Amino acid sequence: MALHVVAARTDPALFQLPWSTPLAEWDRQYVVPLPLGLSRHVVRVVRINHQFLAVKETEETIALREYDMLRTLQRLGQPAVVPRGVVRGRTDIEGNPLPTALLTEHLHYSLPYRTVFQHGLRPDQVPALIDALVVLLVRLHLAGVYWGDVSLSNALFRRSAGGFAAYLVDAETSEHHPTVSDALREHDVTVGIENIFAELMDLQASGDTDVIVDGFEIVTQLGDRYHALWDELTVAEEFGNDEWYRIEQRIGRLNDLGFDVDELDVQAESDRVRIQPRVVEAGHHCRELRQLTGLDVEDSQARKLLNDLAAFTAHGGYDDEDRETVARRWLATVYTPIVEILPIDQRRKIAPAEFFHEVMEHRWALSDIAGHEVNIFDSARDYVATVLPDRPSDTPTLS
């Protein structure tokens, strides 16, 4: 069988990779030493025309199914790696068949969980890592996606305003349904609890991290937080017909959690009102920021940037001006100049929005010490000089 590439966009450079050689034997001419999570498959990251692609060897039917599933997740707007193609029909120089290869885009500024633990994770940040996985699982379930193999190993994590955002990286067992049944949702939660407990115990036993975690407490937290978030997003709420303000309160709580209500079912009877979210979509803050500024960032980062924009509006006396106009002024006079203080050779170390967030945190710390508000540009320069050199990179081998 001739080499066959299935891809949404075919880059001719793909054919220049050594497909007749087992992936485990590819050398540094092709492989980029980026950190990878644990996998039962051989996985490597390669560079093609200044792009980084993850290549995974697997069976042909599995590769094609996962490619289709990742394209579905992309169409649904879910946080997952972007599929680039499937290479099948591979043979070695003697004509012996080689595994099919699945290609996905490497997610910039992302890290596997073991690397997160090895590079600067504080014990108090472990719950934020689990919360990120919970939000990912809830988002998938709301979109009708059954994960099938919930684990830390099957996700990648980006730092996001002091927390994390999780992305699905392995969709081998995932399925898309009109809705995910309660039984399938609970199965996902149960599998996640079992897998994550084992991963945390293995991580501690390996000595790869100094972070001490209580595995039982963490997996209990996963189940509790999943059910609490799911209920907040989906459960019906009843109140008296003189309490219509509670609709706005419910929507406000969902917005605070980073979700928009696209459809709300309201049933009013003689003395009671029943409301239930029908269509809930994640990304409330990042959509708002993107509309105002064009910036495309994680939702937690967007929330912090919107807060800074609100402070800029109030302090500058711009309350009577059009919000889009003020946002453009903030972008031009605050955000962009601050981001440009980040040295060019350090820009692979930290995402621009995360840099801005950490500069703001640093400014608050400096202001607290000084007893007065420290200029944000002075804070950014001080951060670059005193904090950034020792900050773990979010792309460790490329900094």
Amino acid symbol at 172: E
* 293 in any annotated domain: no
Q: What's the domain count of the chain?
A: 4
Question: d(Cα 202, Cα 205) in Å, to the nearest integer?
Answer: 5
Structure tokens at 289: 């920021």
User: Do residues 125 and 211 share a domain?
Assistant: yes
* 289 in any annotated domain: no
**pLDDT of res. 341:** 94
Structure tokens at 55: 């290549």
What CATH number did the domain enclosing 98 receive?
Answer: 3.30.200
Identify whether the C-beta of residue 113 lies closer than 8 Å to the C-beta of residue 129. yes
**pLDDT of res. 28:** 83
Question: d(Cα 308, Cα 358) in Å, to the nearest integer?
Answer: 13
Last residue of some domain: 282, 315, 349? 282
Last residue of some domain: 81, 105, 129? 105
User: Do residues 250 and 224 share a domain?
Assistant: no
Instruction: Quote the DSSP letter at residue 25.
Output: G
User: Do residues 88 and 129 share a domain?
Assistant: no
User: Do residues 126 and 209 share a domain?
Assistant: yes
Q: Render 128-140 in DSSP notation, one character per residue.
A: HHHHHHHHHHHHH
Identify whether the C-beta of residue 126 lies closer than 8 Å to the C-beta of residue 217. no
Report the SS3 class of residue 341. Answer: coil
User: Do residues 160 and 217 share a domain?
Assistant: yes
Question: d(Cα 86, Cα 10) in Å, to the nearest integer?
Answer: 10
- The answer for residues whose C-beta is within 8 angstroms of residue 347's C-beta and 6 or more apart is none
Identify whether the C-beta of residue 69 lies closer than 8 Å to the C-beta of residue 82. no
- The answer for residues whose C-beta is within 8 angstroms of residue 198's C-beta and 6 or more apart is none
User: Do residues 121 and 217 share a domain?
Assistant: yes
154: left (phi over 0), alpha (psi -120 to 50) or beta: alpha
Structure tokens at 370: 């000084």
User: Do residues 52 and 98 share a domain?
Assistant: yes
Q: Render 240-294 in DSSP notation, one character per residue.
A: ETT-THHHHHHHHHHHHTTEEEEEEEEEE-SSEEEEEEEEEEE-HHHHHHHHHH-
User: Do residues 206 and 123 share a domain?
Assistant: yes
Give per-10-residue mean pLDDT for the chain (399 aa): 66 80 86 71 82 88 93 93 89 88 88 83 83 93 94 91 89 93 96 91 78 81 91 83 76 81 76 75 84 89 90 84 91 94 88 92 91 91 93 68
* 80 in any annotated domain: yes
What CATH number did the domain enclosing 207 receive?
Answer: 1.10.510
Instruction: Tell me which residue range forms the domain holding 91.
Output: 4-105
User: Do residues 61 and 124 share a domain?
Assistant: no
**pLDDT of res. 194:** 93
User: Do residues 158 and 274 share a domain?
Assistant: no
Q: Which of 92, 86, 103, 107 is nearest to 25 (CA)?
A: 92
- The answer for residues whose C-beta is within 8 angstroms of residue 66's C-beta and 6 or more apart is 58, 83, 102, 170, 171, 172, 174
Bridge partners, 215 (sequence order) = none
User: Do residues 122 and 229 share a domain?
Assistant: yes
